[in-house]
Structure 1
Amino acid sequence: MAAPLLIHVGYHKTATTWMQQYLFRAENGFIPVAGHAEVHDFITDPHGLLFDPEKMRNEIAAKSENIPNGAVRVISSEILSGNPFFGGHESDVFAERLKQIAPDAKILVSIRSQMRILPSIYMQYILRGGTMPFDQFFAGERSFGYLAFTPEHFEYHRLIAHLQGLFGRENVYVLTQESLTADMEGAARALADAVGNTQFSGLSEDAKTVRAPSYPEYAVPFLRRANHFQKGPMHPNPVIGLGAENRTLYRAVGFAMRRPPLSSILGGRHPVSDYVREQFAGRYDQSNQKLASLVSHPLDLSGYDGIA
């Protein structure tokens, strides 16, 4: 019989890159069989009238030979939870496509407290070339037919309930970023146990190294203005186009903002987080409570709004 297939759908900014680089490795009993490129080409990019589940099935099959006993095949790409800059409106469609591709798959959903993930999402928007100030970004102003940020995307219970309806409650595993922060080894082992990975024997030392944080929030006014002069996914036609991958000006501004004297003067300011706490206070209480009732495995949501 084929090894179990685990599909990690995100969310964005929930240690997904760390998992892809350090957890989902063959030596950990997690065998990657598709990544961002394949997910984009065969799942998220095709027009609905052109989507063919057989193409992704063939891709998985081609990379599923000689899988060791006790190992688990993995597909990990946070784009499967939808684009958070535009409200993640396609997340339900992607879930249904996954059901057509691999109806017996196990699903991993990684989440993070909304009061922490929303500032991180905005900082990612800036990193990708965005130019809107955070109050405008979070306002999610939309015209007919044009999408923008929506807070509903981070009502986790909605997507998780939909995935449970498609794949079965017992086949949807929820992992918090907070559990990884508190006990990286324990959280990874609990995931391995839940999905039938008997080869996992512990994380390597390089996996436990703390990664460099993003640029500080107080740098936002300077970073987003730098984006007016550099090409990026969220700003493809800047005043001066230096190339899609050339982020020299952005990095130079970020470098300067992290260091004295600016870091000494502005270091205590967290304007994006402050705005999110004020603007979305109580917004996710009911969603988090519903999420707690949906999940059958142990899930520590302490620190999430609405959870005692």
Structure 2
Amino acid sequence: MTARLLLHIGYHKTATSWMQQRLFVHEHGYHQIARHPEVWRHVVAPHGLLFDPEPMRALIRAGIDDLPAGMVPVISSEILSGHPFFGGMASDDYARRLKAIAPDAKILVSIRSQMRILTSVYMQYLLRGGTMGPELFFAGDPELGFFGFRPEHFEYHRLIGLYRDLFGVENVHVITQESLKADMDGATRRLAAFAGNAGFDGVLPTHRSAYAPSYPEYAVPMLRRINKLQKSVLTPAPTIKIGTTPDGFYRAFGYVLRRPPFSWALGGYHPVSAHVEKTFRGRFDASNRELAKIAGYLDLSDYSGVMATTKSAMPSSAKARLASAR
């Protein structure tokens, strides 16, 4: 019997690249039947007046027909949760499109403590060629139009709640980046149990390493000014072009600034994290408390406004899932 399709929708900056390249692979009993380009073309890009679920349905049928024996079919693309540079706009539309495309799918949502993910999102913004300082970026100026940060995108309980309504509570699983870091084996075994991956026996030692970290925050003033002189996704027509972000001077300065003596002298300077702390402390407390209610199997002790979750507080379905994953 073929396992049901696992749809991993993100969020961005929650170890999604690691999952796509090192977890959802044949060695672990997973087979990805579509990638970002297909998801973009058939789910995200179509105008609402032109969206047709059939092309993606056909792609999924073909992928499952060719599925290697014993594998769990997976589609993993963080663009399905909405893009943080655009306030996560249309994430609800994507959820309803996925319901029309694959109504029996299982849904995986990956999240991360807001006070950490916001800093990471900003650093990713610079990597794509952004030039705004953190104050302007996080302000979400309405004059920027459709482009702009919105904190409600990171009120995770809202999107997770919508998927639970659409696909059923038992068909939505949430994993935290923190759990992957603290207990990779436990987190991935629970995921495998949810996905029906009976052949999973833990993450291989060769697949455990994480990707290189972002450039340090103290490099932000230099990097965003370099972006004004380089062509990029966010700055396609700079006044003076001396390279292309994230390569060229951006990469060179990032490499140099990451090392001594700069790391010694400036290592304690965290302008983005400091701004996030000042601006958003307490902003997500209510959302995190709601999240704790609907996903009691999660340890949200690193999430503002939530006390450490204990197993005794878990719903019976979550306890059963944990037991089957041992």
Given the two structures, how large is their TM-score scaled by the length of structure 2? 0.90
8 Å contact 2:3–2:196 — kept in the other structure? Answer: no
1:70 shift after superposition: 4.2
Q: What is aligned with 1:192?
A: 192
> How far apart in 2 are the matches of 1:145 and 1:251?
30
What pairs with 1:249-260 in structure 2 (closer than 5 Å)? Answer: 249-260=249-260
Given the two structures, how large is their TM-score scaled by the length of structure 1? 0.96
Q: What is aligned with 2:73?
A: 73
Letter aligned with residue 60 of structure 1: I
Q: What is aligned with 1:151?
A: 151
Distance 1:262 1:145, change over 3 A: closer
The 10-residue stretch of structure 1 (261-270 or 284-293) with the greater mean CA deviation from structure 2: 261-270
What pairs with 1:86-235 in structure 2 (closer than 5 Å)? Answer: 86-143=86-143, 145-235=145-235
> How far apart in 2 are the matches of 1:49 and 1:232?
30
Q: What is aligned with 1:300?
A: 299
> How far apart in 2 are the matches of 1:144 and 1:219?
25
User: Per-residue displacement from partner, 1:107-143 (whole Å, max 9, x unpaired)?
Assistant: 0000000000000000000001100000100001012
Letter aligned with residue 136 of structure 1: L
> How far apart in 2 are the matches of 1:144 and 1:21?
34
| Cα root mean square deviation, aligned | 1.6
8 Å contact 2:229–2:243 — kept in the other structure? Answer: no
> How far apart in 2 are the matches of 1:54 and 1:43?
10
Letter aligned with residue 40 of structure 2: H
Q: What is aligned with 1:46?
A: 46
> How far apart in 2 are the matches of 1:72 and 1:115?
33
User: Per-residue displacement from partner, 1:253-308 (whole Å, max 9, x unpaired)?
Assistant: 10111112222211111111111111111101100000111126x11111100112
> How far apart in 2 are the matches of 1:61 and 1:245?
38
1:208 shift after superposition: 1.4
Distance 1:124 1:144, change over 3 A: closer
- Describe the SS at the equivalent of 1:107: strand
1:234 shift after superposition: 1.4
* Structure 1 portions without partners, runs of 5+: none
> How far apart in 2 are the matches of 1:72 and 1:79?
21
8 Å contact 1:9–1:107 — kept in the other structure? Answer: yes
- Describe the SS at the equivalent of 2:64: coil
> How far apart in 2 are the matches of 1:24 and 1:144?
37
8 Å contact 2:115–2:277 — kept in the other structure? Answer: yes
Letter aligned with residue 198 of structure 2: T
1:211 shift after superposition: 2.6
8 Å contact 1:8–1:75 — kept in the other structure? Answer: yes
> How far apart in 2 are the matches of 1:206 and 1:129?
32
Letter aligned with residue 174 of structure 1: V
Distance 1:22 1:144, change over 3 A: closer
- Describe the SS at the equivalent of 2:142: coil
> How far apart in 2 are the matches of 1:62 and 1:283?
44
8 Å contact 2:103–2:167 — kept in the other structure? Answer: yes
8 Å contact 1:230–1:247 — kept in the other structure? Answer: no
8 Å contact 2:217–2:269 — kept in the other structure? Answer: yes
> How far apart in 1 are the matches of 2:277 and 2:53?
41
Is 1:37 aligned to residue 37 of structure 2? yes
